[in-house]
Amino acid sequence: MNYFPDEVLEHVFDYVTSHRDRNAVSLVCKSWYRVERCSRQRVFIGNCYSISPERVIQRFPGLKSLTLKGKPHFADFNLVPHEWGGYVSPWIEALAKSRVGLEELKLKRMVVSDDSLELLSYSFPNFKSLVLVSCEGFTTDGLAAIAANCRLLRDLDLQENEIDDHRGQWLNCFPDSCTSLVSLNIACLKGDINLGALERLVARSPNLKSLKLNRAVPLDTLQRILMRTPQLTDLGTGSFVDEPDSEAYFKLKHTISKCRSITSLCGFLEVSPHCLPAVYPLCSNLTSLNLSYAVGLQGSDLMKLIRHCVKLQRLWILDSIGDDGLCVVACTCKDLQELRVFPSLPFEAGPSPVTERGLVAISVGCPKLHSLLYFCQQMTNAALITVAKNCPNFIRFRLCTLDPTKPDADTMQPLDEGFGAIVQSCRRLRRLSMSGLLTDRVFLYIGMYAEQLEMLSVAFAGESDKGMLYVLNGCKKIRKLEIRDSPFGNMALLNDVGKYETMRSLWMSSCEVTLGACKTLARKMPRLNVEIMNENEVEFNLDDAQKVDRMYLYRSLTGKRKDAPDFVWTL
């Protein structure tokens, strides 16, 4: 029943941009499916093993921008063995063989080789944007290929990757004709940089808006670069160290004060506190500030800086800021929307200076807060209840007590009531991550109230299968569930096997699930890949009663993957 010609439909669909909306559009009827798929340019694949590259290319011939995610989230915390998978090469090879005019590629937690980067660099003449987040497997040689061959390169954004730095001259590989750079982020490179090549590159990039340097870039180079880039909006400093009376520092102060467009500041991978005042002139314009790598700054330095940052919307900081510093944030940053407080001394013996007091202050001063990641020494139910009342707009709430099973610091009770208050008050909550002493009760609350919850991270929590059941039965929109070291077992796993096809993935490690149950699940649900990883075992003990160390299951249209290593067994 379609009264509009395809061109009109296509035009209307142009306004439908989110992946989910476009997916919904494609389900309406065959002709909408057809028009949608031919006009789709941006595709998001949340699990690279859920579908084959060939099928994606076949369905979306107009593909220009592809986002892929590889390893499960807990790989970030060393819970997934090395060599598990997440290789991008089959994708790049398939794309290169096809006639797709790829322009943008964004990869997260994937293994990328230099060969793949090279293939990418000369297969797509319009390639513009490469974003790699938490990836590994490549070296600066691969970057050299990208630099040399991507004539229209606009974005090269490397975030927290493990890159083997060959300390070569890869920056020199940008040809003199390359003047299209808008965004360059090399902060994660560990080695030295050819500073001259960097300066020349920046000098011939009039559209450069975002520049994030690595530790090898000293203060004086930064000053010379900033002279050339008055239009910069997003700056990541490299090393911010010098004598306070040096000429370089003096020049830098002067140059920085002219950079009135900078709204986002990060870096300070090495920093002398006495150099920090150079950035004070920028503070009143900043909407985003990331000092989470600036270990050299004390709470007092941070407080002095933040007092100027009245427009801040996003703040990433280390816990050295302390509760007092968070009070300063609460007083100053009335527009704050996203806060991340990272631990500065994860395995040091001293207690963290951040507790529930800081969080409560933030909740009072920053009612617009919707995204939180908070590492703290302790938490209380009373504090969480207050926070829930003050900030009902949370979309992402991630709390981590440094002792994973720490109870309420005042009452010694579990933190069930506190997190219960959060899910009850924050009706739009999509992501939740909990820690502290937690019983099955918190899961009851989550199942009852967290209607929009899509991702839940559980560690050292719960008492019985009931906990997991509350979540699986109650959270209709849950897509990713990851559980470690919790007493959930076969009964919970097998209660509703169909549920897992409505989810992207389930991770369970160090729980009570046995091999036999996983086999049963795999048998009942052929469109799920159920992967088992056992520690220290290459040959799998065939005893069904044995508990599995790690289970990762995900829906997939491609069946068992062919690149799984020996220690991964797909049932």
Partner 1 sequence: MNFEGELMNLKDTELRLGLPGRDEEQEKRSCSVVKSNKRCRHESSEEEGSSVTEKNNAGDGSDDQDNVPPPAKAQVVGWPPIRSYRKNCVQQQNNKGCQERSDGAEYVKVSMDGAPYLRKIHLRVYNCYPQLLEALQNMFKCTFGEYSEREGYNGSEYAPTYQDKDGDWMLVGDVPWNMFISSCKRLRIMKGSDAKGLGGCL
Sites of contact with partner 1 (CB under 8 A)? 74, 76-79, 81-82, 134, 160-162, 188, 269-270, 292-293, 295-296, 318, 342-351, 375, 400, 402-405, 433, 457, 459-460, 484-485, 509-510, 535-536, 549
CA-to-CA distance for 313 and 289, rounded, in angstroms?
Answer: 8
Residues 6+ apart with CB under 8 A from 271: 239, 240, 241, 294, 296, 297
Specify the residue, 21 or 566, whose C-beta has the smaller distance to partner 1.
566
Report the amino acid identity of residue 458.
V
Minimum distance from residue 533 beta carbon to partner 1 (Å) = 11
Q: What is the DSSP string of 109-147?
A: S-B--HHHHHHHHHH-TT--EEEEES-EEEEHHHHHHHH
Bridge partners (DSSP) listed for residue 156: 130, 184
CA–CA dist 400, 422 (Å, integer)? 15
Residue 345 CB, shortest distance to partner 1, in Å, is: 6
For residue 189, what are the CA distances in angstroms to 135, 231, 264, 351? 13, 24, 20, 31
The smaller minimum CB distance to partner 1, of residues 288 and 509, is found at 509
Q: Of 399 and 426, which has the nearer Cβ to partner 1?
A: 399
Q: Based on CB atoms, which residue is closest to partner 1, 137 or 474? A: 137
Question: Among residues 400 and 553, whose Cβ is nearest to partner 1?
Answer: 400
Would you call 470 exposed, middle or buried from its count of C-beta atoms within 10 A (0-12, 13-18, 19+)?
buried
Given the complex with partner 1, which of 187 and 442 has the nearer CB atom? 187
CB of 308 to partner 1, least distance (A): 25
Which C-beta is closer to partner 1: that of 60 or that of 375? Answer: 375
CB distance 338 to 312 below 8 Å: no
Q: Smallest distance, Å, CB 404 to partner 1?
A: 6
Nearer residue to partner 1 within complex by CB, 43 or 399: 399
Closest to partner 1 by CB, 127 vs 375, is 375
344 versus 386: smaller Cβ distance to partner 1: 344
Strand runs (DSSP E) across 54-198, as ranges? 65-69, 104-108, 129-133, 136-139, 155-159, 162-164, 183-185
CA distance 152 to 149: 9
- Distance from the Cα of residue 442 to its chain's centroid: 26
> Least separation, in Å, of the C-beta of 162 and partner 1?
7
* 3-class secondary-structure state, position 315: strand
Residues 6 or more apart from 113 whose CB is under 8 A from it?
A: 87, 88, 89, 137, 138, 142
Distance of CA 389 to the CA centre of its chain: 28
208 φ/ψ angles, rounded to the nearest 5 degrees: -65, 125
